[in-house]
Structure 1
Amino acid sequence: MSSALLTCVYRVASNCGTGAERSRNEPMQQTTHKTAYSANSGLILVAYVVYCDNTIRNMMNPGKRYTCSEGGESYSYNKTLKTHVSQFNHERNVMCHDRKECGLENSFMKVKCPLCDISVLSKKNYCDHLSMKRAVSIAPEETDFASFQEFCEWKKQTERKTLSLYVKKCGSYRTSDNVTRHSFVCYRSGQYVSKSKGIRRMKIQGINKIGGVCPSSIEVTEAGDGSCKVKYVVTHVGHQNGVRHLDLTEEERNKLAVDMANKVPLQAILDKVVDTLSDSMLEHIYLLTEKYLYKIEQCNNLRSEVMRQKDDGISVETWVNEINASDNPCVLFYKLQDTSSQSHPLLSSQDIVLIIMNNAPCEILKKHGSDCISIDGTHGTNGYSFELITLLVLDDLRQGFPCAFRISNRSDQDVLSLFLIK
């Protein structure tokens, strides 16, 4: 311990209990409490040990400096060096260390490079990293528009031309000077968070997210009079633009939904799309399939007269009510799930039973039912594990003719007895 530090400790110890104040000229930085117990006197002496500032520390450790291995800056404290490492580097203002080199967790590093395992603090540092480490030039293009609607049209044409898509990073906000700012980023930026249970395999085309940040973006500044100033970064990093990772636009989906609502056959819709194919530009709509059209039908509840609602239970109940209200009802019995039946207490609340038979099959059953009756079961054809039971008779040609149908989650004696009674 140096003489300066011993002198400082002696002054504090001599003033302990007297209320004497420390001199303003004494350089001090931090104090801690230490308690010394004396076995002979039984007295407790509380001394405030003063840790001196940089001058005294340098006297204790002459020439001790903490130097940045990449930037070359030196600091008196290791804490100051860590602050430099966690924020900025030398004059290039680039993160000089990754999380392994600096020994920090760097949980606050928000921008990750998709080309290497480097996370930086801000997008500016990320652009500098790409320009110096990866030789990627990031130069924004500035454009002015008379209105926000004009910008939206330009954005749509740009996305179609470059086979890309820009989405809002966050909500728009307005500054104190009545200026609204909009931020659009490349839709492939970000980390993929899986919500699946691992039952289905990953698609062959892969995921949309690249596990990092793509520098391509659009920054819009909308003035109070409606005019817009746009900064557009064209360069994409970490992926290639293509139609396989794009989706149909809202305008295209609505146009297809209108055609399906007008009862246009699906094959005719596909042929119409193929007829518009040109060699000048490939678009995602040219990859349209029947499966995607079925998806649009489901989202817009357009699946002919069978699909009434997105929820299958509500859709079936709606269909049953419409059939029973018609002139030729064919539903003999129906019990919905999560309901109880007082007339049939053997059915639990989780059971579903649907029995269907029309008037014409009923007459055939009465005519040929005394000869031979057959029951056939079909299972494993739907996602709910419901079983279809068909009641058949032999007609005049000695061929099986279906007369009644039963759909249920059970196939035991109670449900079969109910089916035959009805």
Structure 2
Amino acid sequence: VLHFLLLLQKTKKVFYYCIFAFVGSPFQTFSLASRIICRVQCQEYFTKYDIFHRHLMQNHNINVEMEQHLFESMRDFEHWKKNIEQITTSLYVKQNSGKVNQDGCKVIYYNCHRSYHYKQNCMKRVFTKTNKTGYACPSRICVTVFNNGHTQIIYWKTHVGHSQLLRTIPINNTLKSHIADNIKQGISDDEIVRKTIDAGHEGILPPRATIVKKQDLVNIRRQFQMFYSTYKHPNDHSSVTIWVNENLTDKRFSLLYLKEVGTSHTILDEKDFVLMIMTKVQEDVLKEYGYDRICVDGTHGTNAYGYHLHTLMVIDEFGSGYPVAFCFSNRQDELLCRVFFREIKHKIGRSIQTQTFMSDCAPAYYLAWEHEMGKADNRLLCTWHVNRSWRRAADKKIQNVQKRIKTLEDLQLIRCLLNETEFCSRLIAFMDLLKNDADTVKFATYFSKHYLKNTPIWAYCFRKGLGINTNMYVESYHNTLKKMTFHRKQSRRMDKAIENVLQIEKLAIINRHQRLHGVSVSERQKNVARSHKKFSDIPSNAICEIRPLKEWIVTSSTKETQYTVKWEDNTCNVPCMRCEICSICIHSYSCDYTEFSIKGYICKHIHACIQYYCIDSDFNKQHLEQSILEKTKKIRKTESKSKFNAYDSYQLAGTLMNLNLQLYESHEAEIFSDADHRKLVQYLYHVRDILGRGVYDFPQKNKINLKKKIPKQRR
């Protein structure tokens, strides 16, 4: 056997596990007689419980109370036993299957579950907590089953040497089945725990239900094999690989690209890990809206391995972000982004010529996009990221606090200017002031190097009419992902992180379906409704008509500023950002106010012009509803076809069993009994799991506290 095991796997781990499967556990075992040990001071051994009971009375003055009962059937006894266990917070387990006495009656003994020692599983090398005390508890039940079905019991009810706490009672099968049914219904873990505890306090469920926790749900899922759909193997790396291979032919996915740790690549390193995911629905949305606006950003904290999640996102007709592709990787540089965008281009079959591309201040995303997809018409930096960069640079390079604040305020005002000529003149004058001041000259050097030559990517006057200002679409999505799906906790396993990402993708489909039917509205649609209410702040004399029913000058109600509103005569009858009350969409009018030209929603000045100068917008509600139905049909069902069976892909078991049969048929097997071979087969399954882990695994960079909440997403 040793020769066979060494050939099977030359590792100390397998050798250790399998050797103790035959020679027995290294932990001490006790015979039935010697395990009756008194815990009260003397710790003497006894051969029978009668002697043990007399010892407790004579030496320790402990009277073991006894009761006798007669039941008509074994079912009545089981019902009585269940009630006694709940009342006394105890549990009685069978000593064996029972023996037949001289009268032909079957005798069964039930011992207190706290008695004796814990039988250590030889496959487990880690010492775990146990409810066993290591001694004998005098409380037990002797059941005699007569031939006519009647049952007589002798019940010793006194417990000695242990406490009777709920935490020492294991969850029974009834409670497990109840929890398993709730899990199958898709109820959240928090809700299951809350309802189970309430039912325990109300007496609907056993008292043990009052201390149920989330870990119990995890154990029940493992016992009932109710794993999440992406769980395929106990080893995380193997699980991800199996899941990808199983779904390569699934029509739900358009792109599944996996670069495993330890495999070679033309660009990436051997130690790199890359996983890209794009569904068919995401591909359709990317093809439909990718020509307009593209956002991309990465986030951390989704898994215990330190891998970043990069998300590609488009903006739909309602001004809402929609994730169209995901990429998990240990890298976040230009090479990784090139591979990401190249695979997307290959699956779509063409390059995406987008009008606007927005990312953070790092150039990696855009350089990779330009290399693979071509140059975008407009490259923009997220305003939030630009503000953060300026603020950090000012903190380091401007020591005078007042000048630092004044510099940042002036820079913000200059950036918000919408007239290009005014912007350029003000910026030149501002730079002259910075260079001529000794306290701000370092910041002037920094600004000239990084931003002065790239004004089109951060100034407002160059992004008029683009309808995008910050990268908060992706940031908000990442915040929702961490809050609603990850519950602010890092996922211990990579396959669970994949499951969470797929859940948020399903949620995006649901939200889009609801927006199409008007059930829910985006934040920009809410802003349109708010601006409609604000138009009453603008009096009619504040509006000057320049061209009849074509162009107006509106004076601001708060500042002495004038804005130009124009009728574009371009109302669309398809799903779009619109004001239902005014029967217009975002394309009907234009305004040079920041809310319209930069933030991209209908401002109060447009609403005011509509109220005082009525124009037929040619809006056709019937055409709009027909368009909504057509778009709804394109939304496909996203239910996963994979079953919740974590061990479908095991192939190693057959090989090991064949080897076992060969050993059994050989002459060397004659020295082993049938029981030995049955035991060998049992533990070969565990050997199979060890061998099936693969050569590589996900490297955990740092010791991460998985219970610590993920910081809120930057906004």
Q: Could you state the TM-score of these two structures normalised by the residue count of structure 1?
A: 0.55
Query: How many correspondences in the alignment?
Result: 302
1:1-38 Cα distance to aligned partner (Å, 9 max, x none): xxxxxxxxxxxxxxxxxxxxxxxxxxxxxxxxxxxxxx
SS in 2 for 1:357: strand
Q: What's 2:139 paired with?
A: 216
Task: Pick one of 226, 237, 240 that aligns with 2:160.
Answer: 237
Give the letter aligned to residue 287 of structure 1.
I
Matching residue's letter, 1:154? W
- Describe the superposition over 1:378-406 as per-residue Cα deviations: whole angstroms up to 9, x where unpaired: 36833xx372441557979x999865433
- The residue number in structure 2 matching 1:112 is 37
Q: Is the 8 A contact 1:110 1:119 kept in 2?
A: no
Q: Per the alignment, in what secondary structure is the counterpart of residue 239 of structure 1? A: coil
1:108–1:400 Cα change, 3 Å:
same
- TM-score, reference length from structure 2: 0.35
Is the contact made by 2:99 and 2:108 (CA closer than 8 Å) also made in structure 1? yes
2:54 equivalent to 1:128: yes
- Which residue matches 1:153? 79
| Counterpart amino acid of residue 183 in structure 1 | Y
Residue 354, structure 1, aligned to residue 275, structure 2: yes
Alpha-carbon offset, residue 121 of structure 1: 3.1
The 2-side partners of 1:419 and 1:235 are apart by 69
Mapping of residues 161-310 of structure 1, within 5 Å: 161-175=87-101, 178-192=104-118, 197=126, 207-266=130-189, 269=192, 270-271=194-195, 273-274=197-198, 277-278=201-202, 283-302=207-226
Higher mean Cα deviation, 240-249 or 285-294? 285-294
Paired amino acid for 2:68: E
- Structure 2 unaligned blocks of 5 or more: 1-30, 344-715
Over 3 Å counting, the alpha-carbon distance change for 1:146 and 1:279 in structure 2 is closer
- Deviation, 1:137, is 1.2
Distance 1:226 1:414, change over 3 A: farther
Deviation, 1:128, is 2.4
d(CA) in 1 for partners of 2:322 and 2:91?
A: 56
Shift of residue 117, structure 1, vs aligned partner: 4.6
**Residue 149 (structure 1) shift:** 2.0
Residue type matched to 2:278 in 1?
A: M
Q: CA–CA distance in 2 between the matches of 1:272 and 1:197?
A: 31
CA distance in 2, matches of 1:314, 1:216: 48
Q: Check whether the contact 1:221–1:228 (CA below 8 A) recurs between aligned residues.
A: yes
Are the structure 2 counterparts of residues 169 and 276 from structure 1 closer, same or farther at C-alpha, using a change threshold of 3 Å? Answer: closer
**Which AA in structure 2 matches 1:274?**
D
**Distance across 2 between alignment mates of 1:334 and 1:320:** 7
Which residue pairs with 2:307 in the alignment? Answer: 387
Contact 2:68–2:155 (Cα < 8 Å) also in 1: yes
- Separation (CA, whole Å) in 2 of partners of 1:173 and 1:346: 68
Matched position secondary structure for 2:183: helix
**Residue identity matched to 1:134:** H
Residue range with higher mean Cα deviation, 302-311 or 237-246: 302-311
Aligned-pair distance for 1:262? 2.8
Cα 1:380–1:143 change in 2 (3 A) is same
Separation in 2 of the partners of 1:345 and 1:393? 25
Distance 1:344 1:288, change over 3 A: same
Secondary structure of 2:110's match?
strand
Query: Residue 354 of structure 1 aligns to a residue in which SS?
Result: strand
Map 1:367-386 onto structure 2 (within 5 A). Answer: 367=291, 376=298, 378=300, 381-382=303-304, 385=305
CA contact (8 A) 1:390 1:402 kept: no
d(CA) in 2 for partners of 1:220, 1:331: 63
The structure-2 alpha-carbon separation of the partners of 1:225 and 1:386, relative to structure 1 and needing over 3 Å to count, comes to farther
Give the deviation of 1:136 after TM superposition: 0.8
Report sequence identity in percent: 23
Structure 1 309/254 Cα, relative in aligned 2: closer, same or farther at 3 Å?
farther
Distance 2:126 2:38 in 1: 28
CA distance in 2, matches of 1:170, 1:301: 28
Give the strand-richer structure, 1 or 2. 1
Alpha-carbon separation, structure 2, partners of 1:183 and 1:118: 23
Q: Distance between the aligned counterparts of 2:79 and 2:296, measured in 1?
A: 67
Partner SS, residue 255 of structure 1: helix
After the TM superposition, which of the residue ranges 167-176 and 298-307 deviates more from structure 2?
Answer: 298-307
Give the Cα separation in 2 of the matches to 1:268 and 1:391.
Answer: 30
Alignment correspondent of 1:79: none
Query: 2:267, 2:107 → 1: CA distance?
Result: 64
Shift in CA distance, 419/146, structure 1 to aligned 2, threshold 3 Å = same
In 2 relative to 1, CA 279–108 (structure 1 residues): closer, same or farther, beyond 3 Å?
A: closer
| Aligned counterparts of 2:174 and 2:96: Cα–Cα separation in 1 | 23
Counterpart of 2:326 in 1: which secondary structure?
strand
CA–CA distance in structure 1, aligned partners of residues 183 and 79 of structure 2: 27
> Shift in Å at residue 163 of structure 1?
1.2
SS at match of 1:229: strand
CA contact (8 A) 1:365 1:403 kept: no
Following the alignment from structure 2 to structure 1, what is the Cα–Cα distance between the partners of residues 331 and 105?
Answer: 64
Query: How far has the Cα of 1:112 moved from its partner?
Result: 1.9
Q: Residues of 1 paired with 2:177 and 2:254: CA distance?
A: 36
Do the aligned residues in 2 keep the contact of 1:364 with 1:403 (CA within 8 Å)?
no
In structure 1, C-alpha distance between the alignment counterparts of 2:165 and 2:106, rounded to whole Å: 32
Aligned residue number for residue 51 of structure 1: none
> What is the alpha-carbon distance in structure 2 between the residues aligned to residue 110 and residue 297 of structure 1?
35
Question: Aligned pair in 2 of structure 1 residues 281, 299: CA closer, same or farther (>3 Å)?
Answer: closer
CA contact (8 A) 2:35 2:116 kept: no
Q: Which of 64, 69, 73 in structure 2 is aligned with 1:143?
A: 69
Report the AA paired with residue 44 of structure 2.
S
Bigger CA radius of gyration: 1
Q: Unaligned stretches of 5+ in structure 1? A: 1-105
Q: What residue is the counterpart of 2:519 in the other structure?
A: none
Distance 2:302 2:42 in 1: 47
Instruction: Considering fraction of residues, name the structure with more helix.
Output: 2
Deviation at 1:342, TM superposition (A): 9.9
CA–CA distance in structure 2, aligned partners of residues 404 and 380 of structure 1: 16
Task: State the shift of 1:238 in Å.
Answer: 0.7
